A and B are shown apart, each in its own frame.
Chain A
Amino acid sequence: MAQRTNTYDIRSIDIDKKIISSIDNGIIILDDELHIYYLNKWLAIHTGLKEDSVLGKKLDAVFHNIKTKTLTRKIKTALRMKTPTFYTANTSKYLIPIKINQLKISNYEYMQQDVSIIPFDEEKRLVALIITDQTNMANTNALLEANIKKVNELNAELIRDRKTIDNKVLLIKLDSEFMIRDISQAQLRLLGYAKSELLDHNYFLFERLHINKTLKEQICQHAKENKVFNFEQKTLTKDGKELWMSNTLVPEYDSYGKELGYILFRNDITDAKELQKHQEKLLSNSRSSAMGEMVSMIAHQWRQPLSLINTLVATLKIKHELDLLDTQTMYKSLNKMEQTVNYLSETIDDFRNFFKPNKVITEVKLAMIFEKSTALLDDEIKQQSITYIQTIDEEIKISTYQNELIQSIITILKNSVDAFKENPTQKQYITTTVKQERTHLSIFIEDNAGGIKPEILQRIFEPYFSTKSKNGTGLGLYMCKTIIEDHLKGKITVTSQDGTTQTLIELPLSL
């Protein structure tokens, strides 16, 4: 029989107890009912049991942790098959409990064991249990397993991240010759191309319609110097839709620092571009509308001085025809006219100045701001018999862009003045109150020009929204809000009740 030489090794040689005793393994000889026939020195030392005291006893009676059924089954199988059966430390941990008393770091309290059950004497139904200390191996395995687990987790995380990047981030990988090496799913989806359609194509060739010579040179220059470069460009999707991309070109290296090429991180800024274009258009519209308002205000301001000049000219004419014109009267009238014309030209300069955006922040008295603002409306206010009451502490100062603030205040006051044209009442008034807080000031403007209906109130800041029957562009309050919130970092709210309208402007004391 093939197995015989193997299994009978131990029996065929005379068992030299000395040899068996000095072996660094535990050896027990048992019968198939688990009676102990022999126990070597190693086991005696490690378990603290004397061979004499356990001979003839059952192994599972000496060590209560041993599962009788399992061990018996393994012994019987070994005898039946005439080949060894096993316990492995991997799954069984240990058979004979031996405490580890060494002062070394171990994951285990008990020695981890591999156990071979070798058929020893088939007639007497004896087997030899050979016990090998596998604690070191088990410790190493545990360490290895923990590390493998960590590596696997990291790997899984990396794969997840990669997937996310591929699906969410627009990127194109280029080699040093700007040939497309890879392209993310997100970018492919956006452009409507399959990967195979773009791989190994030259990036500049692909974008030839949208990257001009200058931009290309800039890109190449930065790339050559391994510098990060930001640029914007248009691109076309496969079905011809135009998109705006913002690009960041970053050099890519492998883990040894060798250059691989470049990564182009992209952002779809089409929506932002559209918005920007839209806003620019709105802004230019509102500028021209402001100009329109300005012209109409100038017309108002000029009405009286012009009629004064008219009168002076007519008087001069009549006096001249009647030969009543003396030199003194003529000079007096001409001086008056000169004064008036100067006033006219000042008015224009004032308007022009106020509607020219300031580049610098200056500290000004708020009273002065209102003085300048109302000066341009004085005439209309008087004409319509509006009572204008202003309560502003002379000491209140603000550091801001003053022209922008003046323009906003004019717009609000003008709105009130215009409202009275639509809704004339008995006692028309506009009041302005300014209160200074710790960090900001509140400008409170109220009129009683009929108020604003709630459904209109919630839309007054929308561009192109107007209630004025004529000349209203609907951009005044939109501009106001944009200026106050974006430029002056303030807040504007409008409320209305019982035929009155309140506008509250809150501004930081200093920008």
Chain B
Amino acid sequence: MNSIILTEDEKDVLQELMNVAYGNATAVIAEMLDAFASLSIPNIKVMQVSELMERFNQLKDSSYFFSTQAFMGEFNGESAFFIDEESANNLAKHLELESIEDLDDAILELTNVLTSSLTTRLAQEMDTEVSFALPSISKVPLNEIANVDTFLQYSQVIVIDTDLNFEDQMIHGKIFILTKDESIQWLRERIHTILEALI
């Protein structure tokens, strides 16, 4: 596949769709945690997998938990969620969890909520559907990030990353939505349809 370059307009559309989707996801989590999140502007970037791995590696050092979840449909890909130790502990405190297993479960749930609401909403805005299967959500040991072979199957990825930021509760995370090669083409066509409808 040739190198993908996203135009400013394409980026803008993707950013705004993500913004809307993320607003939705945050609201769900805010309700779940009975907290208030500050929203930030999502970053959109086309990356080589090697570059992505490097970013993951940087995050790895300060992270406590890393999880991924795949989503399927016309728009398909994978989400990756990082949360640091302090945030995980604060999350545990906030959810009044009893044990470390509960914490892992709660973070997987957070991953699931983020991924589902983000991608569902994104798909909805693009007039399609996505589905999630349970086995596709998993915790990845931090030292094995580089070995996650689904990532290695990508050549180029559109990386949408945004911060999960509960200031008062001191819970911070980073979520990446990664779309695979064939999905990128589909995504661009959709973006153009949306833009054309407006002009």
Contact = CB atoms under 8 A, between A and B. Distances in A.
The reply, when asked whether chain A contacts chain B directly with Cβ atoms under 8 A, is yes
Given A67-B98, A77-B32, A88-B108, A114 B113 contact: no
B129 A77 contact: no
Contacts of B112: 85-86
Nearest to B111: A86
A83 interface: yes
Given A80-B28, A81-B117, A86 B109 contact: yes
B110 to A, nearest CB: 10
Contact of A87 (B95, B105, B130): B105
A76 B104 CA distance: 19
B168 interface: no
Contact of A2 (B101, B105, B124, B137): B124
B14 interface: no
Contact of A73 (B32, B98, B104, B123): B32
A132 B135 CA distance: 11
Contacts of A1: 124
A74 B110 CA distance: 10
B138 interface: yes
Contacts of B116: 81, 83-84
Nearest to B128: A2
Nearest to A87: B105
A92 B101 contact: yes
B139 A5 contact: no
A81 B123 contact: no
B146 to A, nearest CB: 14
Contacts of B117: 81, 83
Contact of B105 (A3, A80, A91, A116): A91
Contacts of B105: 70, 87-88, 91-92
A217 to B, nearest CB: 50
B51 interface: no
Given A77-B28, A90-B139, A116-B134, A83 B109 contact: no
Interface string A57-84: 0000000000101100110110011111
Interface residues of A, number: 28
Nearest to B123: A2
Contacts, number: 73
B49 to A, nearest CB: 23
B124 A74 contact: no
A122 B45 CA distance: 38
Contacts of B61: none
Given A2-B129, A5-B129, A91-B108, A86 B95 contact: no
Given A2-B120, A2-B128, A84-B134, A69 B96 contact: yes
Contacts of B90: none
Main SS at interface, chain B: helix
A1 B129 CA distance: 9
B31 interface: yes
Contacts of A81: 28, 113, 116-117, 120
B193 interface: no
Contacts of B95: 69, 73
A216 to B, nearest CB: 47
B113 A91 contact: no
B56 interface: no
Nearest to B126: A2
Nearest to B125: A2
Contact of B120 (A69, A77, A83, A114): A83
B126 to A, nearest CB: 9
A6 interface: yes
Interface string A103-145: 0000000000010100000000000000010000000000000
A84 B112 CA distance: 9
Interface in B76-130: 95-96, 98, 101-102, 104-106, 108-109, 112-113, 116-117, 120, 123-124, 128-130
B28 A86 contact: no
B131 interface: yes
B64 interface: no
B104 A91 contact: yes
A78 B139 CA distance: 20
A2 B121 CA distance: 8
B116 to A, nearest CB: 4
B132 interface: yes
A86 B120 CA distance: 16
B21 to A, nearest CB: 11
A460 B125 CA distance: 101
Interface in B131-147: 131-132, 134-135, 137-139
B102 A67 contact: yes
A146 to B, nearest CB: 15
Contacts of A69: 95-96
A171 to B, nearest CB: 31
A67 B112 CA distance: 19
27 contacts: A2-B120, A5-B129, A6-B129, A73-B32, A73-B95, A73-B109, A74-B109, A77-B28, A77-B109, A80-B31, A81-B28, A81-B116, A81-B120, A83-B132, A84-B132, A85-B112, A85-B113, A86-B108, A86-B137, A88-B105, A88-B135, A88-B137, A91-B101, A91-B104, A91-B108, A92-B105, A93-B101
